[in-house]
């Protein structure tokens, strides 16, 4: 389908950007005359949403990529890939990309009216900053547990368990979205669970290696799913010969709308 520059401008003015018209997200949902878009991980939207009339780019792919890369790097180390066990190299990414940039993406989600995206991306950006602080000796957080490795592992386990609970709450919001989006939070939740158990199930202050490696493997899967959702938000017919599928659930609003339309045709 070809679109002239004038038509593109009109689409943007009406809140329908070129990606949403021609990308992987599919057709619009119409609810009482209001143009609605189907749930879509590419925009970090777990339910049908109304396009913002503000002329902002989609911040979700940026936040997802920041999250994915930092998670990918740490997960390789958690899985002890090629014998690497020290996560110091991840601190820079945790502060700059997974932390600061993802936090900015969350704030921009707030500007476009996406409450879920703002909550999730801002929170996980803050998680990475917090993790970086914990790993930075200058803050003295781990030094406070000097001589008490069991206490340090328990404290880290509590911290990660809190993120497991928070991610579970977000996961509940994605069951009517897409397979791509829902699976991101399912695997992230399992990752936090394994990593929390890695510290809580310690052996006299020594972290549980099996749970740690399991968390690393699950984290790698999570990172690639995050990139999958980011790619869905980036690819469109204007810049790519293909789009990636996101697989709407059979019970999602988009599929219900398509079924209703098919019955009336």
CA 228 to chain centroid? 10
pLDDT of res. 136: 97
- Whether residue 117 contacts residue 170, with contact meaning beta carbons closer than 8 Å, is answered with no
pLDDT of res. 40: 55
pLDDT of res. 52: 61
What does the buried/exposed string (b/e) look like for 78-115 if buried means 16 or more CB atoms within 10 Å of the residue's CB? bbeeeeeeeeeebbebbbbbbbbbbbbbbebbeebebe
pLDDT of res. 16: 39
Distance CA 254, CA 177 (A): 9
Distance CA 192, CA 203 (A): 19
Residue 162 token pair: 């809190």
pLDDT (tens, 9 = 90+) of the chain, 265 residues, equals 444 444 433 333 333 343 443 444 554 444 444 667 777 576 677 767 676 655 788 999 999 999 999 999 999 999 999 999 999 999 999 999 999 999 999 999 999 989 999 999 999 999 999 999 999 999 999 999 999 999 999 999 999 999 999 999 999 999 999 999 999 999 999 999 999 999 999 999 999 999 999 999 999 999 999 999 999 999 988 889 999 999 999 988 888 888 888 888 7
pTM beyond 0.85? no
């Amino acid at each position: 389908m070809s679109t002239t520059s004038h038509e593109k401008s009109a689409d943007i003015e009406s809140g329908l950007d070129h990606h949403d018209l021609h990308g992987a997200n599919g057709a619009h949902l119409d609810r009482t005359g209001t143009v609605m878009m189907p749930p879509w991980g590419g925009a970090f939207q777990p339910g049908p949403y109304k396009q913002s009339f503000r002329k902002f780019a989609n911040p979700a792919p940026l936040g997802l990529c920041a999250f994915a890369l930092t998670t990918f790097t740490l997960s390789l180390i958690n899985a002890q890939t090629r014998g690497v066990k020290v996560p110091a190299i991840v601190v820079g990414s945790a502060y700059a990309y997974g932390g600061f940039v993802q936090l900015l993406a969350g704030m921009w989600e707030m500007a476009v009216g996406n409450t879920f995206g703002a909550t999730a991306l801002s929170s996980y950006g803050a998680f990475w900053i917090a993790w970086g602080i914990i790993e930075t000796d200058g803050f003295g957080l781990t030094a406070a547990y000097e001589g008490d490795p069991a206490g340090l592992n328990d404290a880290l386990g509590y911290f990660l368990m809190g993120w497991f609970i928070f991610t579970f709450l977000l996961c509940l919001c994605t069951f009517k979205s897409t397979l791509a989006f829902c699976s991101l939070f399912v695997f992230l939740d399992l990752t936090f669970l394994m990593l929390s158990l890695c510290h809580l199930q310690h052996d006299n202050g020594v972290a549980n290696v099996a749970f740690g490696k399991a968390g690393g493997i699950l984290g790698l899967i999570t990172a690639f799913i995050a990139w999958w959702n980011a790619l869905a938000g980036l690819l469109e017919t204007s810049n790519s010969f293909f789009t990636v599928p996101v697989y709407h659930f059979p019970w999602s609003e988009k599929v219900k709308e398509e079924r209703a339309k098919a019955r009336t045709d």
